[in-house]
Structure formats: C-alpha cells, structure tokens
Amino acid sequence: MKTYRLLSVGLLVLATVACNAKTPDERRTAGTMAEYRELSRQLRELDQQQMASELRGAGLQKPAAAIKAKYFGFDPEQKLDFYRTEEGRRIADIVLSYQTPSGGWSKRTDMSTEPRRPGQAYGTEKNYIPTFDNNATSTQFWVMASAFKGTGDERYAKAAERALQLILQAQYPSGGWPQSFPLRGKYHDLITFNDKVVCDLLKIVSAAARGEEGLDFLPAPLRERAADSLRRGLQMIVDAQVVSDGRATIWGAQLDPQTLAPAAARAFEPVALSTAESAELVLFLMELEEPTDDVRKVIESAHQWFAENQILGYRWEKGQHDYRELLPDADANPLWARFYEPGGDRPVFGDRDGKVYYDVRELSLERNLGYGWYTKHPHKVLKKYAKWRQRHGG
C-alpha cells in the first residue's frame, strides 16, 4: 500500500491505492505494454477513488459540472511578475485545484473563475480523464512552474513535479505519447502528433532534463528520467518517419503505439502522411542544439519531401457553391494538402462516412468547410532550413 498526498486549494487530500507490485509513483517507466496498461489502470482507479470519496463527503450522486471554456479562460503567456500579484496567485490556485490525483488537467475547462469544489468534475468532457490534447496539462505544467518561480510557493513546485511524473509515466515503451493518459480507448490511445501533443511534451522533458526555463527546481532523479524520456522520444520520431520505396518521407498524424505505422483516427482522418503535424515535428527538431546524425538525416529528408511536394500558384478559399477549393493565384505562398497517400504522395481527403476521396470537392459541404484540408505550415520549414543547414548540416 502507498499513500499519496494530493494538494489542492485549501485542502490536503489523502488517497490510497492498492497495487500488486509497484505503485504508480514508484514505477519509473513501463517496460512492456502489459505493464503500461496496468499503470494506466492504476492511475484511472486513483482518480476514480478520489472522486468517489469527494462525492460521499459532499452528499452528491454525481459530480457537479465544471465550467466550459474554449481553452482555459486565462492567458497562460504571463511574465513571472504576474504570479506575484493577487490576480496571478488567484489564477495559479484555481489551476492547482483542477489537477487530478493522477497529475494531469482537462481541456475546454474554465480555470479562471473559481477553484474546483470537492465533488466537482475536473473537466467538461464526458467520462473525463486527464489529457494532453488542446495543450492541456502542458499549459498547466508551465503555469505551475512559473508560479513557483515567481512566488517560491512549494505547492506549485510539487504540482509541476506531479505533472512531469504523469508525462513520464504516459510515455509508451516505444517512445511516443497518447492523446490522453490514463488511456481512454479508440484513437485517443494512438501516439498523437496532432495538436502538437508529442511536441509539447518533448519540449517539457527537454527543458526539464537541462534545468532550463526555470525548471532547475525539479529533483535530480526526475530530471535524469526526463533526459531518458527525451532520448526515447527523439528515437521514436526517427524510427517513425515513413520510408516508401527506399525514400524517406514524413510522418502520420497518429501512429500505432507498437509498430509506429501511421494510423487512422476519426472517420475523416485516414491512414496518411500528415504535412502540418510533420512540419511541427521538423520545426521542433531544428531547435535542438546538438542533433544526432539520425535527427539531422530526418530533418534533411523531410525538408526534401516538403520541397518536392509544394503546390505553387494556388490559394485555398471558398469558390463556387460555397465550397473551399484551390483557386489560381500566382502570388500565393506554397500550399500542401493536409494528408497524402503513403507510397504515392497523392493528396487524400476523408469524410464522416469513413471513405477516402481524392478530390476535396467530393466531400460533404460540412467536412469541406469544417477541416483544414490544405496548409501553409511546411513553408516555415523551407524558410528556416538554410540557416539550420548552415549551423548543423556538416
């Protein structure tokens, strides 16, 4: 048995979890998928047991609703002096109150109005569990780190440590991260490059490993684990780059956590190479101070793929019958389709019927307008590549 001390605003909660072997905090990383899924189960149980205890204490049958917000209801891009103010401490305390026993936070939940009450849901999602989607958990980690650096309040340091602990525990044995942890099933369990999930988490473990961005307060053992996590995460990116006919290309938006092959997610997100997510990965890799030879090779080959597949002379906007389509424009910046067929470099599109289409005009109007089927994001890679090559190309 192990006792967990869980800090929230004005409340010290004790939660106890029985485990067959090691407890979640004692197990540094899961070496096998079976161990990983068992760790996920333990952490889910930890969250559920804490909520059940709160409901009994509050005399509630079900959790009170949290307040919905598009993001979190506050501006997370604040300087340290903000957290020394009364308003800054108020925001930090509210954010702290929404940290789950397992160590994460929700998305689409207001964390600016008032602290979470005992028996109130941690988030607005149905059957909520912590997530890394939509910048959740990564945003709150940085808020807690900044609040500690600005105030010296140990509560915030401990919250940041617990969040980093969850991030490290959530990393698959293969090196990637799911969209949510504890696991919730379906496409949420895939390694997720979409919405910058992996990049956001790699930035945290990278900064933690080096004690950068004010993270020198983290315990040395945790920073050592972060360094190992960074190494495994970078190796996963190298291993997951899709090679077709002996030629390295880019990456899928979601990957099978064991094979690292591109995987389908929602009905309109087919198995495909994904340009926006791949560009985000390359931009992250280009920021590394000392990239390995393998990392340099994937940057170079991905840049080459982007250069060869750019669409010139068109812009993406509404045309006839309100459909968005490619319209001629000699002055437009380069475009790329969001998805390409692996092995053929042919743009593909999806709809809610689960079918794959090769012409965006064949989609329903709802999906044509409701998804970013073309992107300019890889243009940033092309613009930054020359300077990166000068520094690291060798």
Give catalytic residue positions: 134, 266
Question: Are the beta carbons of 269 and 288 closer than 8 angstroms?
Answer: no
Total number of residues shown for the chain: 394
